[in-house]
Chains A and B, each alone.
Chain A
């Protein structure tokens, strides 16, 4: 399988990464190089093989469902590019 320029733009959109017109052909070449490298996986017979979900088998640990942390909003928002009254600020999303 390989990708065309329209697919590269669609992937970039899904990944929320802006791409310029000049970058698209170059990216297409690189993505296709990677896709052709992984194509050999098609040779392997995977009939009936469980996909791996956990490399080290272990039981999921659980904890009591109660608040265990918090109460320091200035620390939580300390690295944010824009904040107001301990809220993260983003561009308007509702007109």
Chain B
């Protein structure tokens, strides 16, 4: 498409401020790009009229000199964020016609700061998945094509069942695909076990899951409340820092949001990392890890060392238990959170012979297979006689996982460097068909961070031998997102920004 859709958010902001471009122009270019990319499936709802109206209001504000920090910046919003008067489905059939009467706190802060909404982005149903294949709207294709595929082949498969094209990751697959394809300058996302960082790594984009409590969860469809956090996906480390500043902050409507000043994250970009101590956890060198991922990890450590950081090996002994413990805690919380979808107050309703029959039929028809499976496992681990053996034990292990990190930080480590994912993106229809655990292993490097409530940044660090993006993850101390942005910028500068794919889908 046009150059306007391939600017960084920071450059667009500066060009708007300098009146080199108008917000309406910038928004129109994005609306056209979104329309031309419908076959990717990134957007599940386009809001072009609202976008033009918001852009016009932004131009007025810019001309009056009262522009906000994100004035005129077109963004996509994950369909887990309630948007007032705009259908919000969590990509589930059970919320197919849900139109919120309120706006999520995080998105309201983006509009407060002048951003423009282009539409709602696809995700795995209720954010449960690592490939965006469980969305009720169907899979989303990554703008990256499988190795050795011709444009003709990719286009013809895109017009059909999309099988074999690459997944954008998940659950924030629509967000990652849209950002990588130039369909918005940045997107909101959410992360419960890796749902921001894994899609960012799969698409050559940058994503940050902030510290638990940094962003308000109010108005975001709940999956597992003790793990869920909102965060941005953008094309550069700087862009993600700019977005996070607007998204973060205390909200009296979410008692788990933290009353703590929001720093100017962008100011951390370019700050020296000299003398910082970076931990390399030996337990992340998992069995069967590809040589390519291992090499990328070493390369990332070398980049930070070259910038003056000190690299030290550390031990996080409970790492291997994070994923199984997560698959108790997250489904348990989900089974409780999703009890609200009962066909009474909102959402789908399937009539039954009595109220229980109505509940059961509504929930069987409304939830997809992955969501049903997780609700059932959560129900089981919370049921009488199993609660202590599963749920309490998993929460004890969670304490141990957090202590592992605390010990490393107490020993002077400023941040931890790990791979973001165990592999590059895989194909649509390739994983999790027979055994759900195969798909869950995608989150092996990211899930510990949610279990410990820490901030984690995924940054592109290079390409695989097949030419697909690979990412590294930086994990920080609680509320020290700034250090992650400083270190992430070093990697981005050293590795060079990933060149995103040309628009072959048009």
What residue of chain B has the Cβ atom nearest to residue A39's Cβ?
B324
- Taken together as a complex, chains A and B put the C-alpha atoms of A92 and B354 apart, in Å, by 7
- B453 CB contacts on chain A under 8 angstroms: 55-56
Whether A38 lies near B390 (C-beta < 8 A) is yes
A82 to chain B, nearest CB (A): 7
A53 to chain B, nearest CB (A): 7
Whether A49 lies near B400 (C-beta < 8 A) is yes
B307 to chain A, nearest CB (A): 30
Does B344 have its Cβ within 8 Å of any Cβ on chain A?
Answer: yes
Whether B324 lies near A37 (C-beta < 8 A) is yes
Whether B348 lies near A15 (C-beta < 8 A) is no
Does B487 have its Cβ within 8 Å of any Cβ on chain A?
Answer: no
Does B282 have its Cβ within 8 Å of any Cβ on chain A?
Answer: no
A61 to chain B, nearest CB (A): 5
The number of residue pairs between A and B whose CB atoms lie closer than 8 Å in the complex comes to 165
Whether A16 lies near B321 (C-beta < 8 A) is no
Whether A81 lies near B349 (C-beta < 8 A) is yes
Does B377 have its Cβ within 8 Å of any Cβ on chain A?
Answer: yes
Does B151 have its Cβ within 8 Å of any Cβ on chain A?
Answer: no
Does A14 have its Cβ within 8 Å of any Cβ on chain B?
Answer: yes
Within 8 A of A (CB), among B330-363: 335, 339, 342-349, 351-361, 363
Whether B346 lies near A90 (C-beta < 8 A) is no
Does B318 have its Cβ within 8 Å of any Cβ on chain A?
Answer: yes
In-complex Cβ contact of B376 among A15, A40, A42, A76 (8 A): A15
- Taken together as a complex, chains A and B put the C-alpha atoms of A39 and B325 apart, in Å, by 10
Summarize B's interface: helix, strand, loop or mixed.
Answer: helix
In-complex Cβ contact of B359 among A16, A27, A39, A88 (8 A): A16
- Taken together as a complex, chains A and B put the C-alpha atoms of A45 and B212 apart, in Å, by 27
Does A30 have its Cβ within 8 Å of any Cβ on chain B?
Answer: yes
Whether A91 lies near B393 (C-beta < 8 A) is no
Whether B402 lies near A46 (C-beta < 8 A) is no
Question: What size tier do the contact residues of chain A reach?
Answer: 35 or more
- A63 CB contacts on chain B under 8 angstroms: 252
Within 8 A of B (CB), among A46-84: 46, 49-56, 58, 60-61, 63, 75-82
- A80 CB contacts on chain B under 8 angstroms: 344-346
- Taken together as a complex, chains A and B put the C-alpha atoms of A54 and B453 apart, in Å, by 9
Whether B400 lies near A44 (C-beta < 8 A) is yes
- Taken together as a complex, chains A and B put the C-alpha atoms of A37 and B213 apart, in Å, by 30
Known A-B contacts A38-B327, A91-B355; the reply to A61 vs B255 at CB < 8 A is yes
**What 0/1 readout, one digit per residue, does chain B (392-405) give for beta carbons within 8 Å of chain A?**
11111111101000
- B321 CB contacts on chain A under 8 angstroms: 40-41, 44
Whether B358 lies near A40 (C-beta < 8 A) is no
In-complex Cβ contact of B335 among A13, A15, A19, A42 (8 A): A15
Interfacial residues, chain B to chain A (CB-CB below 8 A)? 97-99, 101, 211-213, 226-227, 252, 255-256, 258-259, 318, 320-321, 324-325, 327-328, 335, 339, 342-349, 351-361, 363-364, 367, 372-373, 375-377, 379-380, 383, 386, 389-390, 392-400, 402, 435-437, 440, 451-453, 478
Interfacial residues, chain A to chain B (CB-CB below 8 A)? 1, 3, 7-8, 11-19, 27, 30-31, 33-35, 37-42, 44, 46, 49-56, 58, 60-61, 63, 75-82, 88, 90-93
